Copies of this chain bind each other. A is one copy, B any other.
Amino acid sequence: MNKLQQAGERIIGAKRILILSHIRPDGDAIGSTLGLGLALQTEGKNVQMVLADGVPKEFHFLTASEQITQQPEGDFDVIVALDCSDMDRLGDVLENLPSPTVNIDHHISNVKFAEINLIDDQAAATAEMLAAYLPQWGLTVDKPVAEALLTGLITDTIGFRTPNVSPKTMRTAANLIEAGANISDLYQKAIIDRSYASVRYWMQGLQSLKMKDGLVWVSLTLEDRQKADYPGNGDADLINLLASIEEADIAVTFIEQEGEATKVSWRAKPGLDVSKVAAQFGGGGHKLAAGATIQGSLADVRERVLEKTDALLKTQE
């Protein structure tokens, strides 16, 4: 019996199942949790779905998202961790509980913390893995399950455009559409819809747009946020607009925070590695997308970060 069958037997053999995913949950964390959870509920299982940080408002459109809580209650026969590379990323949800039984993830950095670890770093999303596993475990991919999993696929691939999108990714999406998911509608809700305030915030931020020697950047002040009436403390994805500028190799946003701190986001063109410069400032991320929160005024942090980022670009080019 292979690991996939073992994991299936453990899950299907259980009565009380806890499903977990990572803090600051994205569409794949939420979609995978709901996809597996709802499929198991259809089989009559007692399922708890828990995300330490809860479900952000933009994913409330998913069926049964209101079932997701922030703390588990009671005991479980099986604990499944999804889309989570290590146990720290689960948040404080396992205080009086054992380690996860099954770990299903597509991150190459997964440290295999569970009893049975199903890791496929070729998959574009954990939802892509589950879309294949569920039928093999005898579980039904009905409309709500398909919607949850397709949302995971759409968000983790930013609309099927990341380098890890494979023929399997596209065929998985085809199957999920056939199972009842409306791709156009989910795509709109999950990654297109934005608030009027966020566009006003972009307008404020873009007034500081600068480009020099392959770097492009904007600064977003607390005053910009207030003028735009924007409720978040990030850049409202303005970094993705900057990253689309063809003349620049690296895009950076500087977001002023309360208490003399500045959030910084980097995006790089393939071939570069901005996680290195983020690490110099105590941050982290991937080669092409990284971030850090740095103590200091916006102007001070901007000067230091641009100097180091410029130096990185000159080394890596």
Contact = CB atoms under 8 A, between A and B. Distances in A.
Interface in A175-199: 175, 177-178, 183-184, 187-188, 192-196, 199
Nearest to A211: B196
A170 B159 contact: no
Given A167-B174, A177-B166, A161 B192 contact: yes
Contacts of A171: 170-171, 174
Nearest to A191: B161
Interface in A195-218: 195-196, 199-200, 202-203, 206-207, 209, 211, 216
Contacts of A211: 196
23 contacts: A160-B173, A161-B184, A161-B192, A162-B184, A163-B184, A167-B175, A167-B178, A169-B174, A170-B173, A170-B177, A170-B183, A171-B174, A193-B244, A193-B246, A194-B244, A194-B246, A195-B247, A196-B211, A196-B246, A196-B247, A200-B209, A203-B206, A207-B207
A137 to B, nearest CB: 23
A195 B242 CA distance: 10
A230 to B, nearest CB: 13
A245 interface: yes
Contacts of A216: 196
Contacts of A162: 184
A147 B52 CA distance: 43
Please classify how large the interface on chain A is, using the bins under 10, 10 to 19, 20 to 34, 35 or more: 35 or more
A189 to B, nearest CB: 9
A312 interface: no
Contacts of A168: 174
Given A174-B171, A241-B199, A183 B161 contact: yes
A12 interface: no
A248 interface: yes
A4 interface: no
A170 B187 CA distance: 14
A165 interface: yes
Contacts of A196: 211, 216, 245-248
Given A161-B187, A170-B183, A202-B206, 8 more contacts: A160-B183, A161-B188, A165-B183, A165-B184, A170-B170, A199-B242, A203-B203, A203-B207
A246 B194 CA distance: 6
Interface in A254-290: none
Nearest to A216: B196
A141 to B, nearest CB: 14
Nearest to A162: B184
Given A207-B203, A244-B193, A247-B196, A187 B160 contact: yes
Nearest to A194: B244
A72 to B, nearest CB: 33
A237 to B, nearest CB: 11
